[in-house]
Amino acid sequence: MSDFDVQQQAVLPSRMLPIVSIGLGGIVFDAHYPAYQKVGFPVVGGYDPNSERARMMQQTFGIPTLYHSLQETFERAPHDAVFDVAVPGWAILDILKVFPPNRAVLIQKPMGDTMEQARAILDSCREKNLTAAINFQMRTMPHIIAARSMIEQGLIGDVVDMEVRMQLFTPWHIWPFLLELPRLEILYHSIHYIDLTRSFLGDPTHVYAKTLKHPVAAPDLAPTRTMIIMDYGDAVRANIMTNHGHRYGGEKEQSYVKWEGSKGAIMVTAGLNMDYPRGKPDKFEYVLLREGQTPHWATLEIAGSWFPDAFIGTMSSIQRFVLGETDTLPTSVIDAYRTMAVVEAAYQSSERGGLTPPYTLDT
C-alpha cells in the first residue's frame, strides 16, 4: 500500500457517442474493439474494403451494420458519430479527401508515412473543420497515467532523465503491409516513445539518431534498430534505444520506460512488447528518496495494460472534447504533427551521419 493516491485510469465521457470504424484490421481486432467493449463504447457500424474480413469482424464483435463503401459509410453514419480510422499511414489522405466536414475522427498512428503527408493530413483536417486526433495511445496506458499522476504531484521531484529501452524480438511478418516500407522502426514503433517523451518533457530543441538494419534477424527489412537522443538542454537526458532483433530467448528481453527525478524514480515495464503477441506481465515500480534511508524500490499494482486499455483513453479524450467536457485534446493533429516532426528529424539525423573524429596526428 502506498501513502498517496495515484490516478490509473482514463476519465470516461459522461455520455458515450456512437463509433463508426473505417478499417477493420488487426489493431482493431486486438485493441480497439476489446477496449470499447470493456467500457461500453457503442460501435454502430464499420467498413473495410475486404468484405470477408468485415464479415468476420461483425461476427466476432457484433457490429450492427457493415457499410459497402466509404460513400455509404459517411451517408449512413449517425450525425454525432466519432469515426475511428485504422488504416496504414499512407492511406489516410485518400480517406480524408472524401471525408465530410465538421465531424470528429480518431486516426490510427502514424500521421502519414512522410512529413509531407503529415502536413497534408493536418491541412485537410483544418480545411474540413474536423475535430481530429491521432491515436497515440501509449500516453493513456494505465501505467503511464499512473506515472504522470505521480510526477504531476511532485512525488519524484523534477524529472532529469527519461529513458526508453526495448531489447526484444519482434515478428514483423505479422504486419505484411510494413514489410516493403522504406521507413519502419522509427515511423511505426519508436514513434510511440517519441510521442510519449514529448508528452512529458515537451518539444526537444535537437534530435540525434541512428537507425540501422539487423543483418541477421531482418536483413530484408528497413532498419529495425534505433538509437535516439532528444535534446532538452544540459539538465535533462532523454534517450530511446530499440533492438527488435534480440533472438536469444526471453531471459534478457527488456521493455521499459524509466523516469528519474530529483526525489525519486519510476520504472514501467511494458510487457506487451516481449514475446509478442502473447506478451508478458506489466510492472510498475517506483522509489522515493527519504533522508537517512536506503532507497528501496516498491511495486504499485495497476489494473489494465497497454492493449487494450490504452485505447479506452484516446477514444475517451476525443469524445470528452467533442462533448465540451474538456478543452484539451492531447493528441490533436496539431500536436501529432510535432511528433511527426521529431520522427523526420531522427531520420534526417541518421542519414547525415555523425562527425568524424580528428584522428590525424601532427608529425
pLDDT in tens, 281-316: 999 999 999 999 999 999 999 999 999 999 999 999
pLDDT (0 to 100) of residue 2: 67
Question: Which residues form the domain of 243?
Answer: 140-310
pLDDT (0 to 100) of residue 361: 87
280 shares a domain with 191: yes
Asked whether the beta carbons of 46 and 57 are under 8 A apart, the reply is yes
Give me the CATH number covering residue 199.
3.30.360.10
Q: How many domains does the chain have?
A: 2
* Beta strand pairing call for 237-243 and 159-167: parallel
Specify the residue for cell string 486516426: 107
151 shares a domain with 119: no
Q: For the residues 214-229, what does the mean pLDDT come to?
A: 97
Asked whether the beta carbons of 8 and 302 are under 8 A apart, the reply is yes
Q: For the residues 268-282, what does the mean pLDDT come to?
A: 94
Q: Is residue 357 part of a domain?
A: no
Q: Is residue 179 part of a domain?
A: yes
Q: Is residue 12 part of a domain?
A: no
Q: Is residue 338 part of a domain?
A: no
- Across 11-20, b (16+ Cβ under 10 Å) vs e yields ebbeebbbbb
Give me the CATH number covering residue 320.
3.40.50.720
* Beta strand pairing call for 19-22 and 43-47: parallel
Burial of 343 (0-12, 13-18, 19+ CB in 10 A): buried
Question: What is the side-by-side order of every strand in the sheet holding 159-167?
Answer: 206-212, 225-231, 237-243, 159-167, 254-261, 264-269, 283-288, 298-299
pTM of the model: 0.96
User: For 325, which DSSP code?
Assistant: S
Backbone φ and ψ for 57, nearest 5 degrees, come out as: -65, -40
186 shares a domain with 213: yes
Tell me the pLDDT of the chain averaged across its residues. Answer: 97
Q: Which triple of cell numbers denotes residue 361?
A: 596526428
152 shares a domain with 118: no
266 shares a domain with 159: yes
323 shares a domain with 295: no
Pick from 281, 10, 4: which is nearest to 156 by CA?
4
pLDDT (0 to 100) of residue 227: 98
Q: Is residue 9 part of a domain?
A: no
DSSP reduced 3-state for 32: helix
116 shares a domain with 164: no
- The 10s digit of each residue's pLDDT in 114-164 is 999 999 999 999 999 999 999 999 999 999 999 999 999 999 999 999 999
Q: Omega of the bond prior to 277 within 30 degrees of 0, cis?
A: yes
Question: What is the maximal distance between C-alpha atoms in the chain?
Answer: 81
Q: Which triple of cell numbers denotes residue 319?
A: 469524445
216 shares a domain with 180: yes
| Residue % of the chain over a pLDDT of 90 | 97
115 shares a domain with 148: no
- The 10s digit of each residue's pLDDT in 41-79 is 999 999 999 999 999 999 999 999 999 999 999 999 999
| Separation of alpha carbons 57 and 151, rounded Å | 40
| Separation of alpha carbons 125 and 97, rounded Å | 10
DSSP reduced 3-state for 301: coil
Q: Is residue 363 part of a domain?
A: no
- The 10s digit of each residue's pLDDT in 199-208 is 999 999 999 9
On the question of pLDDT at 106 being above 60, the answer is yes
Specify the residue for cell string 475522427: 105
Q: Is residue 51 part of a domain?
A: yes
pLDDT (0 to 100) of residue 180: 93
286 shares a domain with 239: yes
295 shares a domain with 147: yes
204 shares a domain with 150: yes
Q: Is residue 227 part of a domain?
A: yes
Q: What is the DSSP string of 146-189?
A: HHHHHHHTTTT-SEEEEEEEEESB--GGG-GGGTT-S--HIIII
User: For 137, which DSSP code?
Assistant: G
Q: Omega of the bond prior to 42 within 30 degrees of 0, cis?
A: no
